[in-house]
Structure 1
Amino acid sequence: MPETAPERSGNYWTYIRWKLREPFAEWLGMLILIIIGIGSSCQTKISQGTYGNYTNLNLAWGFAVTLAIYISGGVSGGHLNPAITICLALFRGFPGRMVPRYIIAQVFGAFCGAAILYGNYKVALEAFDPDMKLYGTNASAPLFITMPSEDCLTADHDMTREVIASGILHVVVLALGDENNAPPGAGLGAFITGLTIMAIGMSQGWISGYAINPARDLCPRIFLWLIGYGDLVWHHDSWWWLNGAIISTISGGILGCLMYDLFVFGGDVSVVNFPGCRLREATGISKLHHMVRAVVSKNKQEDAWESKAEKGQSRSKAVAEQWRDQSCHASEVGSSS
């Protein structure tokens, strides 16, 4: 973002864009990511494999992430994921005041992308699944949202795998931004991130749908609910939308960042590597220390008064005795001189 606002030359939109440039970039990048990613799911499933397969689907999601980062990366950093935004704020000093506007932009971009994609495939989707089903061979809801595989044991196992997938993504993101590791050349970070998405999809995808992005699952889910897919989109698989696509992805991201900073990263920007005094300030321990010290000092003073009182002297008498001793000492000094 420029340090100074552009001159107001009659174009008010220029000023608005300058003020909201980063959220706009996140919104547009997320919009295109969802259109390409979910579009690949729709094309593969509706065509019954004629125009795609599972490998094509993972490639499409990976390239969608790559293109979205190229679109937004130079302006906003290309987070495109609420979990990444939160983790960068926790571990890399990303301004906390920017977190809400980034997440709002990402959520709104994903919602708009789902709406545009549904409009593009509306006729085909209605022919493929006229009943708007969540389960079944011709169910269309899984094309837009993530769901645990029916072949897996329980939703708890799927949530664990979602934690692992999200953790891998965040480890790679931090490694790409670590100048003391092996940072890629200009523009290669987006490509490597896309390859990471492909690798996660090809190794973890069928288990839980690899959400690894709360906005990617939540916003299409909201859209499906609004157009009539019913409340089951919220209740299925032990509230998967919350436990799997949101809590597990964010928890996995935090765990992945923590592991990278504990075992690899050496910079002092991470809370893991804060010096002792700075860590105490960041966690509030320094304030607690001052509070304890004040209480202890007060207790010591009270103990001294009680010691005097135990000898048969009141507090006022103790003060008077102390003042008299000081006066006598001053008189002796004056007479000796």
Structure 2
Amino acid sequence: MEIGVTEAVQKHVSRHVVPPKPISQRKLDFEHSRPRWLREMAAEAIGVFFYVYPGIASQASFFLNGTEPVFGSLFQIGWAYAIGIAFAIITCGSTSGGHFNPAITICFAVWQGFPWSKVPRYIFAQIFGSFLAGLLLVGQYYPQLSALAAELRAKGVSPNSLGGPGSVLCSFPGPTQTNYGYLFFIEFFVDSFIGIVIWSVLDPANPFIVPASAPFVIGLAYANMVWGFANVTISTNLARDLGTRIVAAIFYGGDAFGDYSAISILVNVPATLFATLVYEIILRDSFAIIAKGHNVHEE
């Protein structure tokens, strides 16, 4: 029976799938000649672009239409980032490892033996991908964003404030959110939550995750924190925030790098290191990894 079912499935697939074209030696030679480091950097930049672009596009739709529910909500924005992250991992993860976050790259170097020599270029590529996403979005929404910036300036309000064009691109606290210690701890624990989820998803001993589900679980971890704390102001990713913040500074003023920017840019790294430290000390079970054949004892 098994053989019969298998043959039936194979015949069904062969009827509906176009046979692949044979791969030429010329194509193999071309692919082999590409510098590995350049492919990895491009994949990290493209992946971050895929993650950031849908998120800020959703924010643009929301803010430019006066936060009218028909044009979006925090729920929609959370899903935009979640699905964008899933697409980023699916599209580019097989080429570069799918870090898309400087803090994750650093944690891989600390805990998993990722070469430290690659860390600076991965981080540069990640920030560059976010910068490109912000630049493209400003180009696409330039008339609307410029009009909103002019409207806010006429009221004596900086475009780089909550509800302004700058906040479409990156995080800015509300007028009453002046307690930076509070904002620091919110960002720290939000990023720690995401970090633990990512590290657990990447644990080969975790029986609840299969490779096909990993991109969506990681995306949902981000969305979960957007839904819970976006009203408090969070950034969640150094590259995502810094790349688009540079764009905000170029178009809407240097005050994009105000006092809060240090929290939104830098807290992600120590928070994720803390999260992965907790996982490595308390939750990691290396014997289970060895028993499942995913690793070996060094002796």
TM bracket, shorter-chain basis: 0.7 to 0.9
Q: Decide which of 258, 261, 278 is 2:280's aligned counterpart.
A: 261
- Matching residue of 2:198: 173
Contact 1:134/1:142, CA 8 A, preserved across alignment: yes
Q: 1:216-227 to 2 correspondence within 5 Å? A: 216-227=240-251
Quote how far apart the aligned CAs of 1:128 are. Answer: 2.5
Q: Decide which of 247, 267, 270 is 1:251's aligned counterpart.
A: 270
Q: Decide which of 80, 84, 93 is 2:100's aligned counterpart.
A: 80
Contact 1:81/1:213, CA 8 A, preserved across alignment: yes
1:38-95 CA-partner distances (Å, limit 9, x unpaired): 1010001112223111211111111111111111111112111111111111122212
Amino acid at match of 1:168: F
Tell me which moved more, 14-23 or 62-71. 14-23
Tell me the distance in 2 between the aligned counterparts of 1:167 and 1:258: 10
Q: Decide which of 35, 51, 70 is 1:33's aligned counterpart.
A: 51
Q: Tell me the TM-score normalised to structure 1 length.
A: 0.71
- Matching residue of 1:20: 38
In the alignment, is residue 64 of structure 1 matched against residue 84 of structure 2?
yes
Inter-CA distance 224–44: structure 2 relative to 1 (3 Å threshold): same
- Matching residue of 1:231: 254
1:193-248 CA-partner distances (Å, limit 9, x unpaired): 1111111111122112x211001111111112223x2221112xxx2222x12321
- Matching residue of 2:149: 129
Contact 2:160/2:172, CA 8 A, preserved across alignment: no
Contact 1:176/1:182, CA 8 A, preserved across alignment: no
Quote how far apart the aligned CAs of 1:10 are. Answer: 11
Tell me which moved more, 36-45 or 148-157. 148-157
Tell me the distance in 1 between the aligned counterparts of 2:109 and 2:181: 28
User: Which is greater in Rg?
Assistant: 1
In the alignment, is residue 201 of structure 1 matched against residue 201 of structure 2?
no
Amino acid at match of 1:234: F
Contact 2:74/2:230, CA 8 A, preserved across alignment: no
Contact 1:8/1:15, CA 8 A, preserved across alignment: no
Tell me the distance in 1 between the aligned counterparts of 2:269 and 2:36: 30
Amino acid at match of 1:220: T
Which structure 1 residue ranges, 4+ long, deviate > 4 Å from structure 2? 7-14
- Matching residue of 1:190: 215
Tell me the distance in 2 between the aligned counterparts of 1:64 and 1:178: 22
Quote how far apart the aligned CAs of 1:186 are. Answer: 2.6
Inter-CA distance 186–13: structure 2 relative to 1 (3 Å threshold): closer
Contact 1:30/1:68, CA 8 A, preserved across alignment: yes
Inter-CA distance 211–8: structure 2 relative to 1 (3 Å threshold): same
Q: Tell me the TM-score normalised to structure 2 length.
A: 0.79
Tell me the distance in 2 between the aligned counterparts of 1:212 and 1:126: 27
Inter-CA distance 12–182: structure 2 relative to 1 (3 Å threshold): closer
Amino acid at match of 1:249: N
Tell me the distance in 2 between the aligned counterparts of 1:226 and 1:197: 27
Quote how far apart the aligned CAs of 1:151 are. Answer: 4.1
In the alignment, is residue 118 of structure 1 matched against residue 138 of structure 2?
yes
Structure 2 residue matching 1:87: 3-state secondary structure: helix
Higher relative contact order (CA 8 A, sep 6+): 2
Tell me which moved more, 124-133 or 174-183. 124-133
Inter-CA distance 62–129: structure 2 relative to 1 (3 Å threshold): same
Tell me the distance in 2 between the aligned counterparts of 1:11 and 1:258: 43
Contact 1:32/1:68, CA 8 A, preserved across alignment: yes
Amino acid at match of 2:169: F
- Aligned residues between the structures: 257
Q: 1:1-12 to 2 correspondence within 5 Å? A: none
Inter-CA distance 67–136: structure 2 relative to 1 (3 Å threshold): closer
Tell me the distance in 2 between the aligned counterparts of 1:234 and 1:13: 41
Inter-CA distance 91–148: structure 2 relative to 1 (3 Å threshold): farther
Contact 1:58/1:198, CA 8 A, preserved across alignment: yes
Structure 1 residue matching 2:253: 3-state secondary structure: coil
Tell me the distance in 1 between the aligned counterparts of 2:32 and 2:71: 42
Unaligned runs of 5+ in 2: 1-24, 288-297
- Matching residue of 1:213: 237
Quote how far apart the aligned CAs of 1:16 are. Answer: 3.2
1:25-47 CA-partner distances (Å, limit 9, x unpaired): 11111112221111010001112
